[in-house]
Each structure stands twice: as structure tokens, then as C-alpha cells.
Amino acid sequence: MPRMNHFADRLIAAVRAKGNPVCAGLDPRFDQLPASIRDSAIRTHGKTAKAVAEAFIEFNRELLDALADLVPVCKPQVAFYEEFGHEGMRAYAETIRHAKARGFVTIGDAKRGDIGSTAVAYARAHLGGMSITGGERVGFDSDALTVNPYLGHDTLMPYLEIGAQNGHGLFVLVKTSNPGSGDLQDLKAEGKPVYEHVAEMVNKLGEKHRGASGFHIVGAVVGATYPQQLTELREKMPEALLLIPGYGAQGGTADDAARGFHRDGLGAVVNNSRALVFAYKESAYAKEFGEARFADAARAAAQRMAEDLNAALAKRRA
């Protein structure tokens, strides 16, 4: 089978193959890693950024290996790697590489945004890499990148163009999951909230980049913590894939998240970070798995989340 070269088609195929729309948020925090991983890294590398990077790589590798047959998509949050400088970014690159090798569709959660000529550099950095005059291919090369629309549509074009060239996609922040997201996003301008203006930008950017799945390569981030807006935005952007944060720790339920899907149960992925990758610390899993089996705990949490979402989607279909 030839590798599908359309981002949305690949994502939809992965969701179908795994039978659920779970996105595993790979947001490592050094002080929350299993002590065995932390101690071993510090023993070898001292209290350095390199130790943190090696611990992140090991933690994510075990998680990804445990989740590979169950979870279709993963989304490392760049901030948690960038916090540890260039060594942290090495761990980020390695995480993306391993996730792709294990068959995950990868979304780099970087929320980048800059003027056009600079956005080209970000797009190259994250959506396909570039080679140095025929030499080493560099950059991070995730399948998709989250991007910030505040600077305007011209600043999103480089992600679209470079993404389309390389079979990659983007997710534009439309309505984010945090408490203050309304400050600018909900302002009413010309009769509709700013987030609707952004939704129209998403539709316009995507219209020439539709795949066989019916979805285009310009997705949108809409939080499960705002279910009413999620319903509204699902309707406004019928061909956009939605990336839905805010499930779990932030308070969004499966029924909330389900509003981001079409009636056929497709069209979105739902992210879970902390409650999934650190499931081994939660009372529901701590006893059964314990620290040593953190990856199995994450797998159990992902399984439960998949069932939770699929039940909510089935209810909606009925």
C-alpha cells in the first residue's frame, strides 16, 4: 500500500484502524516521572539538561510502545521540552521520530505564529524539515503543527504550502480550552465572535486541500471545555479536522468532546495529557500498576478513555 500523502486522510485512516479518536498528549514533567527513570538518568548524566532529555526519551519511548496498537495520534507539547533548552528539544525530536516509527500520527503542539518570512522557517522546522545543501535533513518533522492565527491569514500560508508539499497539516487555534480564552476570542466583531472569523479563515485556507476522506489539511483547535462553541464550530467548519483539548483534567467530558464529531463518529481527535501519561499516579490505577508499570497504567487509561468517547459517540449516533 502506498503511503497516503494527505494529512487528513492519514489521520482518518489511523482513527479508523485503531477504532477510537484518542490523542495521547506527551507532556513530560521531570519531577513527575517514575523515580527509577529519573535516578538512572541523573546517575549517568548528573543534574543536567542532558539527564532530563534522556529521561524524557526513555519515558516517552515506553509509553509509545505500550500505546502503539491502541492509540492513533500523539501530541507532544513543545513547551515541556523547550523548558530544558536545546537538550529538551533533542528529546522532542527523538520523541517525534520514535512515535512515527511506531505508526502514530504526530501533532507538534507548538502554537507557532510569526510574520510570513519567519513563518517559513517555523514551517520548515516542524513540517518536513529541510536539508542543508544536500546534506543532513534537520528539524522536527511532525505530521502536523498547531499554529496561532493572531497575526493574520498571510502568516498561516507558509504552514499550508509547506505542509501540503510534504503531506503534512496544521491545526489553527480557534477557541482554546483555558478559562481566559474569551478575552479576545469571544469579542463580537461585525456581528460574530472573533473565533468565528478565525473559523472562516480555516475554511478558506483549507478549501483547495481536501483529501479523499472529505477533510482538508487545515484543522482547528476547539476546547471541550466550551461545548456550546464546539457544537457551533463543528457546523461552521464541516471539512476541518478538530483537535479537542480540555478532556479530563481540564473538566471536559466525553459527551462534551463528542460534539466536535460528525454524526458518523469521525472528524476529530480528543487529547488527554496528564491524566493519561501520569495515570500511574491516579488512584484508579496506582494500586494495580504502580510506578514500575507506568506505561501499562497509561494504556489502561487510554483504553478507558477510548471506551468513554466511543460510548458518547454511539449515543449521539442513536
Say how many residues touch a copy of itself, by CB under 8 A. Answer: 75
Q: Judged by CB under 8 A, does residue 150 bind a copy of itself?
A: yes
Closest separation between CB of residue 153 and a copy of itself, Å?
5
User: C-alpha grid cell for residue 255?
Assistant: 459527551
Residues in CB range of 178: below 8 A, 6 or more apart: 223, 225
CB 9 within 8 A of CB 212: yes
Between residues 184 and 286, which has the closer beta carbon with respect to a copy of itself? 184
CB 25 within 8 A of CB 244: no
Q: Which stretch binds a copy of itself (CB under 8 A): 16-24, 134-142, 260-268, 287-295?
A: 134-142
Query: Which residues form the catalytic set?
Result: 111
Q: How far, in Å, CA of 189 to CA of 119, rounded?
A: 27
Closest separation between CB of residue 90 and a copy of itself, Å?
4
Interface residue with a copy of itself, options 85, 238, 251, 290 (CB under 8 A): 85
Helix (H) or strand (E) holding 1: none
Q: Judged by CB under 8 A, does residue 10 bind a copy of itself?
A: no
Q: Judged by CB under 8 A, does residue 148 bind a copy of itself?
A: yes
Q: How far, in Å, CA of 295 to CA of 276, rounded?
A: 10
Q: Which residue has the cell 513563518?
A: 119
Between residues 22 and 205, which has the closer beta carbon with respect to a copy of itself? 205
Closest separation between CB of residue 91 and a copy of itself, Å?
8
Q: Which stretch binds a copy of itself (CB under 8 A): 6-14, 162-170, 187-195, 256-264?
A: 187-195
Closest separation between CB of residue 218 and a copy of itself, Å?
15
Residues in CB range of 44: below 8 A, 6 or more apart: 51, 54
Q: CA 216 from chain center: how many Å?
A: 17
β partners of residue 137: 131
Report which residue type is found at 39: D
Interface residue with a copy of itself, options 188, 228, 263, 287 (CB under 8 A): 188
Q: Judged by CB under 8 A, does residue 173 bind a copy of itself?
A: yes
Q: Judged by CB under 8 A, does residue 168 bind a copy of itself?
A: no
Q: Which residue has the cell 519567519?
A: 118
Interface residue with a copy of itself, options 17, 79, 286, 314 (CB under 8 A): 79
Q: Judged by CB under 8 A, does residue 277 bind a copy of itself?
A: no
Between residues 108 and 265, which has the closer beta carbon with respect to a copy of itself? 108
Between residues 12 and 172, which has the closer beta carbon with respect to a copy of itself? 172
Closest separation between CB of residue 97 and a copy of itself, Å?
11
Site residues (CB under 8 A) for a copy of itself, limited to 199-228: 201
What are the C-alpha distances in Å from 222 to residues 2, 10, 72, 177? 32, 21, 19, 7
User: C-alpha grid cell for residue 81?
Assistant: 521540552
Site residues (CB under 8 A) for a copy of itself, limited to 52-71: 52
Q: How far, in Å, CA of 56 to CA of 203, rounded?
A: 37
Site residues (CB under 8 A) for a copy of itself, limited to 108-127: 111-116, 118-119, 121-122, 124-125
Site residues (CB under 8 A) for a copy of itself, limited to 239-258: 245
Between residues 2 and 191, which has the closer beta carbon with respect to a copy of itself? 191
Q: Please compute Rg for the chain using Cα positions.
A: 19
Please report how many Cα atoms fall inside a 13 Å half-sphere around the Cα of residue 159, on the Cβ side: 34
Please classify residue 146 by burial: count the beta carbons closer than 10 Å to its beta carbon, then call 0-12 exposed, 13-18 middle and 19+ buried: buried
